[in-house]
Structure 1
């Protein structure tokens, strides 16, 4: 088995991110049991940083430590998804509106921000062309992260990143099942245009529509993957 190596100084953080991504992208499926020993062997590390990452992911509701049995990936809870979605939607709408209202296209800072966001969209297009869903999902998250960074409210950004994981397992299933990469890219391009034109009202409408799209596919996703959900409530 090939080892995955991480820089020693960022070991704990990188292991957490690795495991988080494996859960969110459903490589570790809801209900699956995982082993500390196997993870330590795969990642080429001791069990100590593995346990630290597992402890953190357990506190966030992604893993469950079952005494005498092991570690289980938590099932997707619709209640938790809805609660997290409400928080994410509210905070992102605030951040995106603030960015649109404050945007000044003539400044050097705005030009730099636009260049970065356009590069993210380009990377997302390349991932779509390659049919690389994991990279497409990654750049979808990066797009939202960049707008949050431009907003400049670090506390708001931190809260969004903290709560969105429970939504993202559903969104990843949406991406996987619908393959609506073109629509998502067009949404991102439209949102950037609305930011540039300081149109906070239409941006708010577009962002809300963009985020809520996952619910249009919930019934289909649940019917196809009932084993992934703790309960349909």
Structure 2
């Protein structure tokens, strides 16, 4: 029997559209959003826009200020640290499970993804973010744990927001070496080494994020707590 799918409302469509743009960094922190302009650009009434804005404010992506309007919320250091702390636990577990269950097909997929990452132009930040996200998503899939994979995928939107707003794109030789260590440990079936390699990689990225947020003002990705 075919599964029933409830039709998506206009408000839900507006919400998903704005949420994607916010997480991708297309609507920069501090920017003021006008309901009337958003409604006109999306060819909808102001009511679904208002509903979507309210929901996004509840998620912490927008800030509704009385008598002023709606602005895009920046990123706090606390939010970034909390996101990467959870990321470290989930993805190190995924790497360990991937090593435990590795086979020839998994090794080939990892080698292919690693080569694709290394082939990206260092100046292409957007492509680096996508390639890095694909690599970490692959490790989660290779864990063989569907619940863990779902959690990693759901967290990836928050991770993407941190990356975009802080330009956490490490294309150094050391970053490539860290990715290679993760692939080598998983390929060798060394669960402990895979977990450790992924943990160190994410901690390195968090240090980069902390440094960049520490020097950013509210309009540059930082947000006053």
TM over 0.5: yes
Distance in 1 separating the partners of 2:11 and 2:94: 30
1:6-155 to 2 correspondences below 5 Å: 19-43=18-42, 54-105=53-104, 111=105, 113-129=106-122, 131-155=123-147
C-alpha deviation, 1:97, in angstroms: 0.8
SS at match of 1:64: strand
* C-alpha contact (below 8 Å) 1:76/1:166 kept by paired residues: no
What residue is the counterpart of 1:205 in the other structure? 196
Deviations 1:122-171 (A, max 9, x none): 44334335x21012101111111121122233332333333444444443
TM-score, normalised by the number of residues in structure 2: 0.75
Structure 2, unpaired ranges of 5+: 1-6
Distance in 2 separating the partners of 1:52 and 1:123: 41
Distance in 1 separating the partners of 2:111 and 2:40: 40
Distance in 2 separating the partners of 1:47 and 1:55: 12
Higher percent of residues as helix = 1
**Residues 1:191 and 2:211 are matched in the alignment:** no
TM-score, normalised by the number of residues in structure 1: 0.72
CA RMSD, aligned part only?
Answer: 3.4
* C-alpha contact (below 8 Å) 1:25/1:134 kept by paired residues: no
Mark the CA change 1:96 to 1:186 in structure 2 (over 3 Å): closer, same or farther.
same
SS at match of 2:223: strand
Structure 1, unpaired ranges of 5+: 1-7, 106-110
SS at match of 1:71: strand
Deviations 1:95-126 (A, max 9, x none): 21111111133xxxxx1x44444443344334
Distance in 2 separating the partners of 1:13 and 1:115: 40
